[in-house]
Amino acid sequence: MTDPRHIATSIVGAVDWQTEVSGFCRCPGEALHTHRTGKKDCRVSVDGAPTIYCFHSSCAAAVAAVNRRLRQELGAGSWEIILPDRKVLRNGDVLEAGGSVLPREVVHARARAEGRDAGEQLALETLRAVADRFKPELFEKFR
Ligand SMILES: [Zn+2]
């Protein structure tokens, strides 16, 4: 079975993994940054809706293009990661900030319940989990 982190690395280049699913990478739009680029400005996550997040905004178009590719390639095959606590994370599952796994079936059920497209729901659940996960970092960055 393919390791999603290998697929991510093949798209964004070397990743300094900080957790099982997320790490720092070079921003695909780094050349477009209008402010100094720090080592921790750009991050990639493979859970939920796989996404690159960059603190800069001038690179948004380049980041969006790579995000489409990440979601296509990581969404195409099925994969799973065994987490350190033996929980299994599958493609489309969201890793919550507290370490629990939000199964993709729950994401789909919420989408139906709320009348949303499954992809949109997954993006929302991912954004929520990622914001929780990175809260300490964000506060430090924008102190
Ligand atoms: Zn950037």
Residue type at 112 in one-letter notation: R
Q: How many angstroms is it from 62 CA to the middle of ligand 1?
A: 8
CB neighbour list of residue 115: distance below 8 Å, 6 or more residues apart: none
pLDDT tens string 84-142: 999 999 999 999 988 999 999 999 999 999 999 999 999 999 999 988 887 777 777 66
Q: How many angstroms is it from 4 CA to the middle of ligand 1?
A: 22
CB neighbour list of residue 42: distance below 8 Å, 6 or more residues apart: 24, 25, 26, 27, 30, 52, 53, 54, 55, 56
pLDDT tens string 47-62: 999 999 999 999 999 9
Cα angle at 1 between 129 and 119, to 5 degrees? Answer: 35
> Could you tell me the pLDDT band of residue 76, with boundaries at 50, 70 and 90?
confident
Which residue, chain included where needed, has tokens 């969404």? 75
Q: Tokens standing for 75?
A: 């969404």
Classified as helix, coil or strand, 88 is: strand
What pLDDT is stored for residue 82 in this prediction? 93
pTM of the model: 0.89
Residues with CB under 5 A from ligand 1 (ion): 27, 29, 54, 56, 59
pLDDT at residue 1 is higher than 70 = no
> Could you tell me the pLDDT band of residue 66, with boundaries at 50, 70 and 90?
very high
